[in-house]
Amino acid sequence: MKKYFTLPGYRATVPNINVAVLGVPEYAKGIGKRSTASDITFYDVKQGDVTISMIEPSRYPEKLSSLFHATSLADLAIVVVDRVGPEFGETAVTLDCLGLDRGILVLRNYITADQISPLIKGSVLEKYRITDDDPIGLRQTLLSEAQGIGTASSQSDESAGSVAVDHYFDVKGVGTVALGCVANGVIRRHDEVKVLPAGADAEIRSIQKHDDDFEIAVRGDRVGLALKGVSVSDLDRGTVLTNDPALTVRSDVSGEARLVKYWMDPIKEGMVLHVGHWMQFEPARVEAVVPGKDWRSPVLRLRMHKDLVYSPGSKAIVTYLEGGKLRVVGTMELL
């Protein structure tokens, strides 16, 4: 986003799709224009009133959090495969845990569908379409997908919403600006929101999507928000801006875990896991493990290093950064 918050001409919402682009660094630059960059890099496409936000995990595999942040709120994934190794396996497990079953497989370097099929059998990637290595063709496919997904989202009549923040900064003459994705519901200009987990109050002064000003934003929209009442010191990666009363903020988190079939060892008390939910990816110590029907479905009680913001009943990703070639443990239904 380069133009910030010119006030005239507010508009209704338009179709947008968030796409995780995985497997080959900077593949998305052949599809869209690079924008915000850090450990995750955004590329944008805009055609008429249809927009695409693509996210690449720029620091993966060094940082598993980079992969999680690129995929956690995606509507669709593009997985570019030019070699089959641990990174492909960990990426496939992450997408499966997220339940991200809309996607495209781009096979390169003489990788064939017959080679991939046994590796993705039974996972969400089995549902992905296999296409040629054609960035221009992918761009048109994504624009069509955005039209369908965005039209459905724009019909939401929910009254409360939440934005998961991924970047934030000061803009001269504007003040505090937060970039993020609408994780649920609807937000509106002039909404009063809580800044969680910090607990501060803020007002949404204005909303931008792909350089245009809007009155509202709905689930799936990538937004830039000008905020009143808070400074950048009140924000962090993973901060949630919300007026949704269903959200809870807890440092003691419990729930039933489901370990992936590739995870070989039971979870034990004292282990330090990382819990991923929306744009939060925080360490947590295992305080108790209650056996379930088998060791792959225990009930865990965790002590978060930092309060977790979530709606009870939602699903989080559980990881173990000392896990070697596979660091994704499974999922956890948050109570």
* Average pLDDT per consecutive 10 residues, the chain (335 residues; last block may be shorter): 39 78 96 95 92 96 98 96 94 97 95 93 95 93 81 57 96 93 95 96 95 92 96 96 96 97 95 98 98 93 98 97 94 97
Q: Pick the last residue of a domain from 112, 127, 153.
A: 153
The domain boundary residue, chosen from 202, 218, 242: 242
Looking at the domain assignment, is residue 69 inside a domain? yes
143/193 same-domain check? no
Q: What Rg value do the Cα atoms of the chain yield, rounded?
A: 20
Q: Would residue 70 count as lying in a domain?
A: yes
Q: How far is Cα of residue 75 from the mean position of the Cα atoms in its chain?
A: 9
- 286 lies in the same domain as 262: yes
| Neighbouring C-beta atoms of residue 292, cutoff 10 Å | 14
Structure confidence at residue 11 (pLDDT): 46
Residue 318 structure tokens: 């559980």
CA 48 to chain centre: 25
Q: What is the CATH number of the domain that holds 165?
A: 2.40.30.10
Whether 239 contacts 176, CB under 8 Å: no
Tell me the C-alpha distance between 170 and 70, whole Å.
24
Residue 225 confidence (pLDDT): 97
**If we measure between CA atoms, which residue out of 35, 33, 15, 11 comes closest to residue 212?**
11
Full residue range of the structural domain in which residue 185 is found? 161-242
Residue 149: the pLDDT is 66
CATH number of the domain that residue 145 is part of: 3.40.50.300
pLDDT at 214: 93
Report pLDDT for 100. 97
CB contact at 8 A, 51 and 143: no
Number of domain units in the chain = 3
Q: Are residues 202 and 253 in the same domain?
A: no
In this structure, what token pair is assigned to residue 103? 């996607």
146 sits in which H/E element: helix 135-153
Residue that finishes a domain, picked among 183, 212, 242: 242
Is residue 6 included in any domain, yes or no? no
CB 274 within 8 A of CB 298: no
Same domain for 121 and 184, yes or no, is no
Cα 96 to Cα 93: distance, rounded to the nearest angstrom: 5
What is the predicted pLDDT for the residue at 247? 97
Q: Is residue 10 situated within a structural domain?
A: no
Same domain, 323 and 271: yes
Both 173 and 282 in a single domain?
Answer: no
- 304 assigned to some structural domain: yes
Q: Are residues 90 and 214 in the same domain?
A: no
Asked whether residue 20 falls in the same domain as residue 147, the answer is yes
**Quick check: 168 and 232 in contact, CB under 8 A?**
yes
Cα–Cα distance for residue pair 44/18, rounded to 1 Å: 10
- Domain annotation covers residue 11: no
Task: Indicate if 172 and 122 belong to the same structural domain.
Answer: no
How many Cβ atoms are within 10 Å of 66's Cβ, its own excluded?
21
Prediction pTM value: 0.92
**Are 267 and 176 found together in one domain?**
no
The rounded distance, in Å, linking the Cα atoms of 36 and 165 is 13
